[in-house]
Amino acid sequence: MKIVVLKFGGTSVGSISRIKNVARIIISHIKKKYKVIVISSAMSGETNKLSNLTKEISSNFTPPEYDSVLAAGEQISCSLIAGRLNDEGFLSRSFHGWQVPIYTSGEYSHSRIVSVNKNNIIKYLKKGGIPILAGFQGINSENRITTIGRGGSDSSAIMIAKFFKAEKCIIYTDVAGVYSSDPKLIPNAKKIKKISYEEMLEMSSLGAKVMQPHSIQDARLHRIDIEVRSSFNNKTGSLITKRKNVSTKNIIRGVSFTKNDAKISLIGVKDKPGVAAAIFEPLYKNSINVDMVVQNISSNKKETDLTFTIKTEDLTKTVKLIKNNKNIKFKNIIIDEKVSKVSIVGVGMITTPGVTFRMFNALAKKNVNILVISTSEIKISVLVDRKNLKKAVDVLHKEFKLDY
């Protein structure tokens, strides 16, 4: 059976006319002789609306009931799609999580799909039907509705593609694919035809809002090819696939950036073994993610300066935790919210020397001062003043020939 999994995001099913359009897209795949399994998100805005209802009921709303309320959103949209396909003369029906069933484990609101009963769906596909599955939901061992944290309906689509050994998994969304940078900032940014999971992971966690990192990680783990494309036009999107499928002359695939980082510098920290651990332990315990870290050797050997970045939303909490931390001593704390992280990403850099030099040199020529540096195997990130953001992304996009 040649199976394709199609997943439609919230904006793709965000109105009646868009749902009708989704039905046309599904039919186009049927006409190519594919067996189609559809995963639907809730209509855009619906999940927030439902979530707000629970917040008004209680500031501490019970997780199992929260999941039951939220799951209604996908229940509605998947039935609307099936109804539309029926109207167009196609055999189709909705499947809620419990009707498949899709089994999950883990906590409510953060559950993970662990298994899928394929029988009902396979039987229905063999009859020529188009099953429309509610994304983002499953049931646990207590027969209660759970929602999938970390990736939501994208994760549902990837797991369904895995269990049904689908030939393709297409994520229909409101962006045309993965770009070499944000087209809003860099008009010359180009759509990337193929990108490896690893590159995409670095790109997505660095700010390209195409798919959530956890969904890409799922796809990578299960070796599922994913095409990300727009449901609003008929253009080919970007394929996220295994590294060996990606052949490109470009060392660097993209330049990504963030706008929600904040930099904290602790000046004159008493330097002794374990001081960094003493600083970061309370942050870790409060689920605050520290991103870039740099420690300067001070001229005074008994003191050091420590700089690190966190998400802006965690700033107030972080400063409070540091000021209340009795295990550390420092002279001054300096906060800078007007910073941005700019990153170049590409598997090519593993085998190509001189990438770091080219990056720093290009930035230096434009007088962009580098505040902090961090690197991984396939990316180099620098922290710069927010005012230099566009200049920095622009020069790197040109330097690594992504403009063409």
CB 146, CB 135: distance < 8 Å: no
Among 31, 32, 60, 187, indicate the residue that binds a copy of itself (CB under 8 A). 60
Size of the residue set binding a copy of itself (CB under 8 A): 36
Q: What letter does residue 324 receive in the DSSP assignment?
A: T
335 belongs to the binding site for a copy of itself (CB under 8 A)? no
56 belongs to the binding site for a copy of itself (CB under 8 A)? yes
Minimum Å gap between C-beta 75 and a copy of itself is 5
Q: How many CB atoms lie within 10 A of CB 323?
A: 10
Q: What is the Cα–Cα distance from 133 to 26, expressed in whole angstroms? A: 13
Minimum Å gap between C-beta 87 and a copy of itself is 4
Q: What is the Cα–Cα distance from 131 to 36, expressed in whole angstroms? A: 7
In 243-388, alpha helices (H): 275-285, 315-323, 355-365
Helices and strands in the chain, H and E counts: 11, 19
Task: Give the pair of three-digit tokens for residue 160.
Answer: 């369904």
Minimum Å gap between C-beta 94 and a copy of itself is 5
Among 27, 29, 51, 64, indicate the residue that binds a copy of itself (CB under 8 A). 64
Question: In sequence order, which residues have a C-beta less than 8 Å from that of residue 3 and are 6 or more positions away?
Answer: 34, 35, 36, 37, 125, 164, 165, 166, 167
57 belongs to the binding site for a copy of itself (CB under 8 A)? yes
Q: What is the Cα–Cα distance from 273 to 43, expressed in whole angstroms? A: 53
72 belongs to the binding site for a copy of itself (CB under 8 A)? yes
Task: Give the pair of three-digit tokens for residue 329.
Answer: 């001593």
Minimum Å gap between C-beta 229 and a copy of itself is 24
User: Pattern 5-24, binding to a copy of itself, x per CB under 8 A?
Assistant: -----------x--xx----
CA 267 to chain centroid, in Å, comes to 35
76 belongs to the binding site for a copy of itself (CB under 8 A)? yes
Minimum Å gap between C-beta 200 and a copy of itself is 34
Minimum Å gap between C-beta 309 and a copy of itself is 37
Among 50, 114, 278, 293, indicate the residue that binds a copy of itself (CB under 8 A). 50
Minimum Å gap between C-beta 31 and a copy of itself is 21
Q: What angle do CA 75, 79, 85 make, to 5 degrees?
A: 155
Among 27, 65, 109, 298, indicate the residue that binds a copy of itself (CB under 8 A). 65
Task: Give the pair of three-digit tokens for residue 367.
Answer: 């007088």
Residue whose CB is less far from a copy of itself, 100 or 216: 100
**Candidate ranges 78-86, 198-206, 243-251, 308-316; the one touching a copy of itself (CB under 8 A):** 78-86
CA 278 to chain centroid, in Å, comes to 31
80 belongs to the binding site for a copy of itself (CB under 8 A)? yes
Under rule CB under 8 A, which residues in 118-177 are in contact with a copy of itself?
143-145
**Candidate ranges 55-63, 207-215, 282-290, 301-309; the one touching a copy of itself (CB under 8 A):** 55-63
In 118-211, alpha helices (H): 119-126, 152-163, 197-205
99 belongs to the binding site for a copy of itself (CB under 8 A)? yes
98 belongs to the binding site for a copy of itself (CB under 8 A)? yes
79 belongs to the binding site for a copy of itself (CB under 8 A)? yes
Nearest to 133, CA basis, from 31, 41, 1: 41
Nearest to 345, CA basis, from 256, 258, 260, 259: 256
- Tell me if the bond preceding 101 is cis, omega within 30° of 0: yes
Minimum Å gap between C-beta 254 and a copy of itself is 39
**Candidate ranges 88-96, 203-211, 290-298, 390-398; the one touching a copy of itself (CB under 8 A):** 88-96
**Residue 144, amino acid:** R
Q: What is the Cα–Cα distance from 130 to 19, expressed in whole angstroms? A: 15
Among 1, 53, 333, 334, indicate the residue that binds a copy of itself (CB under 8 A). 53
Among 68, 140, 241, 340, indicate the residue that binds a copy of itself (CB under 8 A). 68
CA 157 to chain centroid, in Å, comes to 14
Name the residues that contact a copy of itself, by CB under 8 A.
16, 19-20, 50, 53-54, 56-58, 60-62, 64-66, 68-69, 71-72, 75-76, 79-80, 82-84, 86-87, 93-94, 96, 98-99, 143-145
